[in-house]
Amino acid sequence: MTSLLTELAAHQRRGNTLLFAFGTMDCSMWAADWVRLRTGLDPAADWRGRYSTEDEYRRLLLAEGGLVRVVARAMQRVGARVVAPAEAAPGDIGIIMTEKGPACAIRGQLGWDAKTGDRLSRTPHATFAWRI
């Protein structure tokens, strides 16, 4: 667990340091980078390089059935299992609700962290969660 928490803290620092950019450092890619770091599998392999603006991101999501559906398929492909959001542990992946709609997040020790801007945002609750 110490290794996980150490790696998670480093990933959170990275998320707080790098500027937000659609397609490379947004909520989806930041969470996918975490999964890839922990498992060696990339849940966002099909999405990398396919968008670089909010409009492109939204069009892809619309064509694929929305963020929840996209993340659920990606988590299944990497062997993650669904867990109740209240039972999520640090390092788990989730979906949170923001004023702009759903966002990918990583369960930290103090709540759910998401790359929704230049710094991470945190919320206490998620609507969906997966254990990697």
CATH number of residue 44's parent domain = 3.90.1720
Q: Which neighbouring-strand residues pair with 112?
A: 107, 123
Residue 129 pLDDT greater than 70, yes or no? yes
Residue 2 pLDDT greater than 80, yes or no? no
Per the CB < 8 A criterion, the answer to whether 120 and 93 are in contact is no
Number of domains in the chain: 1
Amino acid sitting at position 19: L
Q: Residue 54: which domain range?
A: 2-131
Residue 81 pLDDT greater than 80, yes or no? yes
**CB neighbours (10 Å) of residue 84?**
9
Model pLDDT, residue 1: 65
CA–centroid distance for 109 within its chain: 15
Residue 10 pLDDT greater than 90, yes or no? yes
Global pTM reads 0.96
